[in-house]
Every structure is written in structure tokens, then in C-alpha cells.
Chain A
């Protein structure tokens, strides 16, 4: 296959009418990448203050059939989850990411919720995960894979519940990505980064939009308005102290 490699690269250079880039140009391009310059970004979310971004996130997520429950503090999360499951006629049983930051939610206050920690298996019907950030621009959740955040949780069960702290809401995809750029790339990059915008859907039969094609039929967001307690997928020092007023 390395023969094909040389052929393709030399065909490209011939077509562009030059040889390999000279070292100066090479260095220039590498510097261009390292600068992480942003292209034009829509003002829709960036022009808003933190509270405005939270409201936009909720509105955009609901527009794509995600459902949102807003609670005041982590202490209110177990009840909100249990009530959601019962309202949807789902069993009070879920598989949850083994992320220690989710431990700050007092799950034991709602003993009827049966919780298993780990990756999702075929039989699991409901999953619960934290997120890396939530993106106001399009109501998008950004989740990353890791030893404490297996991504089968995001796709296998029919119902996916995501905990979002108000101070995890950012304006744009670029803002979310910047918070991943903490170590060496690509070694320290998570294997998978999932941008999730509403539940799974298809329009492959007569353009008719149906939810729950292969991924979750329901995407439920529990938004914790106050408090640093529930999990995020990354370092706390990168969290702007937003939404605390």
C-alpha cells in the first residue's frame, strides 16, 4: 500500500505544479494550525450573556424534541429522574456512567431508583450520563468517551438522560473543543467526541420524520441551575463560574 501512498502524493504534487513544500512554507502551515484561529462564528449564541445562553440552549434542544427538566440543585436530581421515568412509563432502573462526579448527586435519597454503573448492554433501557459541555448555538450536548464515560450509554438504550450543569453551557462548538485542548494532541484527545442534538431520527421513508431510528428514542436533559456538584467530563479549573448569580 505504501506504493499507492507515494503515487498519490506525487500525483498531487505534479498536479499542483510543485515538489514537496519548502521548509518555510511547511513551518508556516504548522504555525497556522497551532494558532487554532476561528473562522467566522454566528453571533446567535456568542452575543448573549450566560443566562441568555442557558435559555437558548434549552429552547434549541426542545426544538429538536429533546425534553428538559430544570432543577435548582443536585439534591433535586434523583426525584426529577424518577418522576420523568414514571411519566414516560419506564421502569425505575437505569445504567449510569461510572463517573465519580455523578456521586455528588444524593441518589440514595430515592431508593426506588435501581442504578447500575458501567457501560450499556443490549438489555439496558435507560442510561444516565454527564456531559462535557452543552452548546447553546444549536441545543447540542457534547459528550466524550473515557474510562468513566463509556459511549455505549449514549447510543444503545432507548432513553438517554443527560445531566447538565448551567455553568457547563457554552456558546459554540469551538468553545467546547477548546476545553478538550488541554494536553498533547492527538494522544490526549478522547477516542470519541459525540455532539448530540436531540434524539435519533430518520426521514428515509417518504421524508416522514420518525424518532428513534437506531439510537435513543428519547433524549431527556436534567438541567441543574445551581451548584458545582454534578459531573462534567473534564477539569474543573476550566469551568467558567457562570450561572452562579
Chain B
């Protein structure tokens, strides 16, 4: 997928001004965090599971080569094939080659962020194969030619009227006077339109939430059942996945599954969790004849052994996104690539480069909610800070920002000077604002005062008040 993360500032402004987006985000802002909190409160062991989830992932990453080789040998033993792909281009080529060898014309797809990452749909279309997204949200945005704006709710940026308009303009064979007002009607329409597509597809492509090394299995988690129809009905099942999805055993997957649904949607367990191992067995009455796994690296192995290794623990639950005040204000499209919100602010620079995505780790208030809700305890704010440091070290920020930051750092490293300047500034501001107690406008802070007043300082800095207090105490 082509990244537009460089346009973050303009896209964020546009998001703030988009009424439909703001209405849609308003629904998500409260719903996700509330449901997650209720689910977590119901499970006294939740913190213990987080610890366990973290150590499972850390252990696997420390021995990733071992578990990958074991996983591959078990996929082969169960009759499947593994296609290793270093880059997006290699992953797309592997899928195309499988489709071509089967003479496939249409492909159904379950939601896969890895497939979004490699730009699979555009690639298949350019090569004469029609991919049909089957997750309701993915289907809607495919019809609208939009990228997903959220990793588990790809059409979260839309209100139902927009969905109705899209269905009316795309489903032309249906009665134009049909009622299309409530989500129920739209769900039923999508179900009816997609059912024959499921049955006709030659190839089904899904992602994987986890891979089990012991058994060579892939796991998908869905609520709609679209992933299961996608991987059961066609002759060929292709799993698009990446190397960090691995866990050693089913027991390990079970722990992460307990964390996943609760962190994502606040459900106790998603409707469907399916573990697939190889193709149809002798005597089976259904299931695919071929089972392929496309295993993508695309920059992940380069994160191992660096300050960004912890990010490879991510299980893509979206809790950090759902609790991020920045995401809640601007939506996912502003981030300009597949992964939005805090996890995207760390992962995107790792996968496509900080020179393309420098705005993302800077678009954070560092409030820390993302880290506090992460089911595998990824220190997201810390890693965003690492990206800011790298960006500065690589001289990628604008000159005025660099000069300002250097000047501030120069002063901040000289405490006496810093305190003196702070004292002067706070006294001067306190004197200037003595009448009203706040400023409606400040010469260098228009960005702040345009939308709110700046309170005037009380006249003394905290440091000087503190020093005086300590002195008084000593004198008593």
C-alpha cells in the first residue's frame, strides 16, 4: 500500500473538519473503551494474563528462527506449503503464482492487514484476478475504493447514510426503491450479495491472528463467519501472514486469545476462532484441496535486537487505537498507511522508514493510555520517543524545529540560567496578565490561543516557590 503519511498534518486538519467522520468517531470513542473495561473487570486474572502474554511473545521472538523452522516443517507434514517472502513484492508474486497455477479468476478474502500492507488487491486486479473482500467493513471500503481506517473496524469512519449511498450506487441490480435505512438492512443486503461470491470463488485468502509452531496451524478470529466461509469453500486456501504471529503451542495461543477479544471489542470470546491445519484430509466432505502460507518479513526481522523489538509482540487488538485521544479526534486515514494510532506510530516508521512517516510518532500527547491497555505491555510512548530521537539524529525535522529544540536543550542543560530565565518570564507574563488572569492572544502562541485562553502565571515559578518553601521549613 502506498503511504501518504507525509501529509499527516493536512489530513488531520481535514479529519477534524469532516462532520461525518466526527459523528462516526463519536460512536467509537465511548463504545470501545467502555466494553473493554467491563470485560477486564469481569476477569480477575486479566493482569496475570497480560504478564503471561508478554512472556510468551518475548520467548518466541528470542527463538524465532527455531519456531519458524519447526512451524514450516509441521505445515509440510500436514500437507501444506510455506512461501517465504522478504518483501511485499515477493508476497504478491507468491499469491499470484498460486492463483495462476489453479487458473483462478475470483478470490474471496477475509480481512488481513498483511494483505493491505503488501497492496495485494491492487496487484491482483492489475493481473486480471478479482479480489472480493467479505468482511462487511472491508467490503464497504472496497466498494468505495478507500483504505481501512482501523485495523479491526475498517469502515469505522463512515456513518450508515454513507454506507447506504455506496450500496445504492454499487448494487445496481437491486430495486432502487428498496428501504436502506438501518444497519440491519445493509447487513442483509451485503449477506445476500456476497453469498454467491463465496460459493463461486476459486481461491480464499485469509490472514492469521496466530500461527502455532507445534502443529503448523493458522488461527483466525472473526465475528462474522466470513473468514470461515472464505477458507472452507474454495479449492485453495492461502494464509497471508507475517513472521511475528508465531507462538509455540496451542496453550500459548489460548492465553493470547483470552486477551485478544477482551482488548479488542470487549467480548469474552469472538464468535469464531478457527484453527486450520493443512488441506482437506482423505475422507473429508469439505475444505480446501490446497493449503498455502505466505510468510512475510517486510522489515520485521530488522526490528529484532533493536529498541523496537517489543513492537513485534503486538497482537493487533486495536486497544491502543481505541483509547488514543489523537486517533479519536482525527480518525485513521490521517495516518496515511495501514496501521493507525499508537501502534501505527511505532510500526509504520519501522516498516516504511521514518523519513516517510516522521509525523506519526510526533502525533502523540504521551498520555500513556495506549501502554496501559496494551494486552502484551508494549511501551508505546517510549518507542515513539525513540523514533523522535532517531528522526532528530537523522536531521529529518524542519530547521526551525531543530533550532528551537537545540536552543531549548542548551538552556535546559544549564539549570541556573534556566531558572533565571523561567523566573523572568513568569514574572513578566504574570505582570502582563495581572488584570484578567489570562491571555486571549499571545504573539508566539497563536496555535494555542486561537481555541482557548492561556492562563497567566501567578508571578513566581514553581522552582522558586519550592526553594522558598524548603528554606522556610529548614528555618522552622
Q: Does A230 contact B (CB under 8 A)?
A: no
Q: A215 to B225, Cβ gap below 8 A?
A: yes
Q: B65 to A119, Cβ gap below 8 A?
A: no
Q: A192 to B232, Cβ gap below 8 A?
A: yes
| Band of interface residues on B | 35 or more
Q: How far is the CA of A16 from the CA of B251 in the complex (A)?
A: 25
Q: Does A130 contact B (CB under 8 A)?
A: no
Residues of B within 8 A of A140 (CB): 269
| 0/1 string, A139-178, CB within 8 A of B gives 1 | 1100001110011101110000000000000001110010
Q: Does B184 contact A (CB under 8 A)?
A: yes
Q: B271 to A1, Cβ gap below 8 A?
A: no
Q: Does B199 contact A (CB under 8 A)?
A: yes
Q: How far is the CA of A155 from the CA of B134 in the complex (A)?
A: 14
Q: Does B280 contact A (CB under 8 A)?
A: yes
Quote the shortest CB–CB distance from A110 to chain B (angstroms): 25
Q: Does A24 contact B (CB under 8 A)?
A: no
Quote the shortest CB–CB distance from B232 to chain A (angstroms): 6
Q: How far is the CA of A191 from the CA of B286 in the complex (A)?
A: 10
Chain A: CB-nearest residue to B56: A39
Contact of A204 among B63, B70, B137, B286 (CB under 8 A): B137
Quote the shortest CB–CB distance from A94 to chain B (angstroms): 16
Q: B278 to A186, Cβ gap below 8 A?
A: yes
Quote the shortest CB–CB distance from A62 to chain B (angstroms): 12
Q: A4-B86, A64-B268, A174-B254 known; A21 and B280 CB under 8 Å?
A: no
| 0/1 string, A29-42, CB within 8 A of B gives 1 | 10011001111111
Quote the shortest CB–CB distance from A142 to chain B (angstroms): 9
Quote the shortest CB–CB distance from B298 to chain A (angstroms): 10
Q: DSSP majority for the A interface?
A: loop
Number of A-B residue pairs with CB-CB distance less than 8 Å in the complex they form:
270
Q: How far is the CA of A215 from the CA of B136 in the complex (A)?
A: 12
Quote the shortest CB–CB distance from B366 to chain A (angstroms): 28
Q: Interface size on A (CB < 8 Å)?
A: 80
Chain B: CB-nearest residue to A213: B224
Contact of A12 among B27, B65, B85 (CB under 8 A): B65
| 0/1 string, A185-216, CB within 8 A of B gives 1 | 11101111111111111111111101011111
Q: Does B170 contact A (CB under 8 A)?
A: no
Contact of A151 among B69, B135, B286 (CB under 8 A): B286
Q: How far is the CA of A213 from the CA of B268 in the complex (A)?
A: 19
Q: Does A13 contact B (CB under 8 A)?
A: yes
Q: How far is the CA of A201 from the CA of B221 in the complex (A)?
A: 12
Given contacts A190-B277, A192-B232, 19 further A-B contacts (CB under 8 A): A15-B301, A15-B302, A15-B303, A16-B62, A16-B65, A29-B248, A44-B43, A147-B284, A147-B285, A152-B285, A187-B77, A191-B276, A197-B271, A199-B271, A200-B224, A201-B224, A210-B187, A213-B225, A214-B191
Instruction: List 9 interface pairs A-B (beta carbons < 8 Å), by A numbering.
Output: A7-B86, A8-B86, A12-B304, A16-B62, A26-B66, A36-B249, A192-B274, A205-B186, A206-B159
